[in-house]
């Protein structure tokens, strides 16, 4: 008999925001990934893109195992978004701050997963702030306040394990206080 609790967490957000990188940074098992050579606009930035899903696992507390699922960023794979979101207890939305309209990018995922997030929790991780510092954290909080959807927002470098764990801690905390 095992007294492990398992929780499903989704990493979503625009292409290149760092979903695959984040899961790889913290997974205790060899991650499962579905990278394909990028042929479209992604190709200018990086060589591969997720076409199905990422999967990894991390134990955060004794007995609490997080099952980490990464969605594809590209809209043309969005049929996978709904499949992966089923039964998730938390959403990590990664936003690439170096793209032209990061707040609009964020809105795509807040809108798409609205019902799922309302029934669970979300945290927003702003990535690539070394490339572009604007919009700043205040702008994100102001935007969320306008939408009347309050979620924690933090800047992260998803290549750093501590940063990704901080996102997950914040997500789990916001669930505890619901």
Ligand X SMILES: Nc1nc2c(ncn2[C@@H]2O[C@H](COP(=O)(O)OP(=O)(O)OP(=O)(O)O)[C@@H](O)[C@H]2O)c(=O)[nH]1
Residues at the interface with ligand X (CB under 6 A): 15-21, 42, 46, 49-50, 72-73, 127-128, 130-131, 157-159
Contacted entry of ligand X, Mg ion, none for residue 157, CB cut-off 5 to 8 Å set by kind: ligand X
For 98-103, the CB contacts below 8 A with 24+ separation are 98/128, 98/131, 98/132, 99/14, 99/16, 102/126, 102/135, 103/135, 103/139, 103/140, 103/143
Residue 63's region, left for phi above 0, alpha for psi from -120 to 50, else beta, is left
DSSP assignment letter at 31: P
Q: How far apart are CA 83 and CA 46, in angstroms?
A: 26
Contacted entry of Mg ion, ligand X, none for residue 18, CB cut-off 5 to 8 Å set by kind: ligand X
CB of 132 to Mg ion, least distance (A): 20
CB-wise, 144 or 156, nearer to ligand X? 156
CB of 136 to Mg ion, least distance (A): 26
CB of 57 to Mg ion, least distance (A): 17
Helix (H) or strand (E) holding 146: helix 137-147
Beta bridge partners, 59, equal 65
CB-wise, 50 or 127, nearer to Mg ion? 50
Residue 148's region, left for phi above 0, alpha for psi from -120 to 50, else beta, is left
DSSP assignment letter at 60: E
CB of 64 to ligand X, least distance (A): 24
Contacted entry of Mg ion, ligand X, none for residue 56, CB cut-off 5 to 8 Å set by kind: none
**What is the three-class DSSP state of 74?**
coil
Q: Which residue is nearest to ligand X (CB)?
A: 73
CB-wise, 114 or 159, nearer to ligand X? 159
Contacted entry of ligand X, Mg ion, none for residue 46, CB cut-off 5 to 8 Å set by kind: ligand X
> Which residues lie near Mg ion (CB under 5 A)?
19-20, 50
CB of 32 to ligand X, least distance (A): 13
């Amino acid at each position: 008999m095992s007294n492990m609790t398992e929780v499903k967490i989704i990493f979503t957000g625009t292409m290149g925001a760092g979903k695959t990188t984040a899961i790889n940074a913290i997974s205790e098992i060899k991650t499962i990934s579905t990278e394909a050579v990028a042929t479209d606009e992604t190709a200018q930035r990086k060589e591969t893109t997720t076409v199905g899903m990422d999967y990894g696992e991390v134990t955060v507390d004794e007995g609490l195992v997080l099952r980490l699922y990464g969605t594809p960023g590209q809209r043309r794979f969005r049929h996978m978004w709904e499949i992966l979101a089923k039964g998730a207890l938390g959403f990590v939305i990664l936003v690439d701050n170096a793209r032209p309209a990061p707040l609009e990018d964020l809105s795509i995922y807040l809108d798409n997963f609205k019902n799922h997030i309302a029934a669970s929790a979300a945290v927003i991780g702003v990535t690539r702030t070394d490339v572009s510092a604007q919009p700043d954290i205040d702008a994100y909080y102001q935007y969320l306040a306008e939408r009347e959807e309050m979620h924690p927002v933090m800047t992260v470098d998803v290549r750093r394990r501590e940063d990704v764990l901080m996102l997950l801690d914040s997500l789990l905390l916001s669930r505890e206080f619901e």
